Structure 1
Amino acid sequence: MADADPIFFAAIPSVVEREAATPEALDTLLRGCRSPFVIRGLVADWPMVQTGLRAPREVRQYLIERARDVPFAVSVGQPGHNGRMFYDAAMDMNFRTARGKLTDIFGGIDANEGRRDPPSVYLASIDVPTHFVGIEQENPLDLGSREPLVSLWIGTPTRIAAHNDFPDNLACCVAGARRFTLFPPEQFRNLYLGPIDNTPAGRAVSMVDFHAPDFDRYPRFADALAKAQLAELQPGDALFIPSMWWHHVEGLAPFNILLNYWWRDTPRYLGQPQDALNHAILAIRDLPAEDKAIWRDMFAHYVFESGPAVAAHIPENARGVLDPLTAETAGRLRAFLLRTLSR
């Protein structure tokens, strides 16, 4: 099929736009929200955004001047893939990963500037405090009592397959332009996810090429598109992506920077649901159907329903992990799981 950009995206409705003139207004929008929204110009006054508007090389120099003397992880895709960081025909990655100094990585981008089909360069989820000095202080955003992870995503034109993340996500376009195609959490069946143990970046991704969707091979993708929303960000704009929403991400300009905030409203001592899914595949999925039915009922009782009746018959001082978890009981449970998994 021919490349479908931009006609393919034209029929997808836009993500709703909101306004937040104060930190309190932003906090109100974010609190308990389960739908995406865009705030135009939320971080337009950041020095990093203003520098990027002058010239890509200037914002690269801005980052170099604040970079710590630590290696940066970078993914490099060979020409011919139109920036799609994905699998190759053998289901290996079509890009290589390396580590290097930010000055050298940016030097490679400078050297390829203006080439017709340069290699794709992508620095993904770069933890800001461990890689830079002063970025957060010079480019602040008041998120109230939240304690987010702050990451930078830097690169040439790229296409990142649809995936989801467990934390809530506020993604701020710093330089260039980004296009997000979003789908509600329940659309995972219609996105035709790839392996969960062989992924480009730790999360299962859609196998559908959004620029050339093969509806004969992936017919239910049409149902996913019926629920899709589109957000195109310019420098200074921000997009809120709720937990577990699927998002296909494209860097559209010759050079792009995104800064995002990840946080979860649940305590940090709780585990990762993906780990539980992996363990269930290991321990339950391949059991006989009768046994799986029993365990499905047990999971409903202890996990998904988990009402007061589950432990009401047990003395209060002996309910252990059947009571709401605390840092102490979560720690004991994690230690128990580590011991059992290491056998």
Structure 2
Amino acid sequence: MSNVTADIDERAGCRPDALPLDELLEGGRPVVLRGLVRDWELVKQGRGSAEASVRYLTGFYNGRPVQYSYGGPEVAGRPFYNDDFTALDCEVRRGGLDALLAEILAHLDDIHPPTYYMASLPVDACLPGLRGHNDLDFAAHGVQAPPSIWIGNRTTASCHYDAPNNIACCCIGRRRFTLFPSDQIGNLYPGPLDPTPGGQAISLVDFAQPDFARHPRFREALAAGRSALLEPGDAIFIPSMWWHQVEGLDGFNVLVNYWWSSMPAYVPTPMHALYHAIWTIRDRPEREKQAWREVFEHYVFGPADRAGAHLPERARGVLGPVDEAMARQLRAMLIDKLNR
């Protein structure tokens, strides 16, 4: 592993029914929540054996097919790309969760096992009842954050960012998290926007063996990074847009995470705006791009109330607060314009 020397801040004494969400969001920095889910039944089963954990999980499984990534031993647990970055080096398979778990157990002691990685499976859709003794109380904060479960063997989710905030709970197996603030994007050498191993662009740097001749700015990212080793029962808060790499360090790993947005559901992801800006702005002459930068600074990146402050409230339209009714109008307008 590359030399990230700074540790992620830690906080002890948190409970699943008393989450410090407001403090975490206000701080805007990653925090390890030691022992947050140590009393979950899934964590307790994991302390016994992988076989006991599998029996516990399959006891909730409703038989719906699941999607997962499979790669041969040469993938070495890191779903990635082919040599020219035009395709992935893993194949997507569908099948029963019970069969997937059996495959992982069958290769538990292999030195170079195949790669199995099931990412972001909605818990309620396939494992109804699991939350009964394995859940965080987001509802007490008025937050809708349905959990997802991640299951695999010794796999690495390459460094990427997510738009929502995230609390990830390490349930079975140890995991190493390595995080970078959003301003390190250029130093992490993101890959294609499509295809991607997990839906988001990933860093092309091999953290285990970085090629500094090919990726020299990665040294700057390392200086800004921070890392932590999570034991089963620990959790971590990852703020929106922080880059993070997650390494499963044991032969059987299970993680449960909760994503939630700081914005209402009627506000869509900014990724739509990114694609639209690439399409409409990126390749314009530099003078025009600089002019549009000023426009965006005025209307988007400056104070939210600045652009309409000199107008009467009734005349502000989209320059005023965007509520659910305005969101519907904007969506209809954009669909109409894009379809012309």
TM-score normalized by the length of structure 1: 0.93
Q: Name the SS of the counterpart of 2:51 in structure 1.
A: helix
Take 2:161 and 2:312, find their aligned partners in 1: how far apart are those partners?
A: 40
Most deviating of 133-142 and 199-208: 133-142
The change in CA–CA distance for 1:63 and 1:29 in structure 2 (over 3 A counts) is same
1:80 aligned residue:
74
Take 1:306 and 1:25, find their aligned partners in 2: how far apart are those partners?
A: 30
Matched, 1:280 2:284: no
Per the TM alignment, residue 286 of structure 1 is displaced from its structure 2 partner at its CA by: 0.9
Structure 1: where are the runs of 5+ without partners?
A: none
2:287 aligned residue:
290
Once the two structures are superposed, residues 2-54 of structure 1 have per-residue CA deviations (whole angstroms, 9 ceiling, x without a partner) of: xxx4xx34x52221111234544633542423111112111001001000110
Take 1:308 and 1:90, find their aligned partners in 2: how far apart are those partners?
A: 46
Structure 2: where are the runs of 5+ without partners?
A: none
Q: How does 1:1-343 map to 2 (within 5 A)?
A: 5=1, 8-9=2-3, 12-22=5-15, 23-24=17-18, 26-91=20-85, 92-143=87-138, 144-145=140-141, 146-306=143-303, 308-343=305-340
Most deviating of 39-48 and 134-143: 134-143
Tell me if structure 1 keeps the 8 A contact 2:154–2:247.
Answer: yes
TM-score normalized by the length of structure 2: 0.94
Take 1:190 and 1:170, find their aligned partners in 2: how far apart are those partners?
A: 25
Q: Name the SS of the counterpart of 1:32 in structure 2.
A: helix
The change in CA–CA distance for 1:307 and 1:165 in structure 2 (over 3 A counts) is closer
Per the TM alignment, residue 128 of structure 1 is displaced from its structure 2 partner at its CA by: 1.0
Per the TM alignment, residue 205 of structure 1 is displaced from its structure 2 partner at its CA by: 0.8
Once the two structures are superposed, residues 249-269 of structure 1 have per-residue CA deviations (whole angstroms, 9 ceiling, x without a partner) of: 111100000001111121111
Residue type of the alignment partner of 1:125: S
Tell me if structure 2 keeps the 8 A contact 1:300–1:306.
Answer: no
The change in CA–CA distance for 1:183 and 1:309 in structure 2 (over 3 A counts) is closer
Residue type of the alignment partner of 2:206: D
Tell me if structure 1 keeps the 8 A contact 2:64–2:96.
Answer: yes
Take 1:41 and 1:308, find their aligned partners in 2: how far apart are those partners?
A: 42
Tell me if structure 2 keeps the 8 A contact 1:169–1:243.
Answer: yes
Residue type of the alignment partner of 2:30: P
Residue type of the alignment partner of 2:154: P
Most deviating of 162-171 and 98-107: 98-107
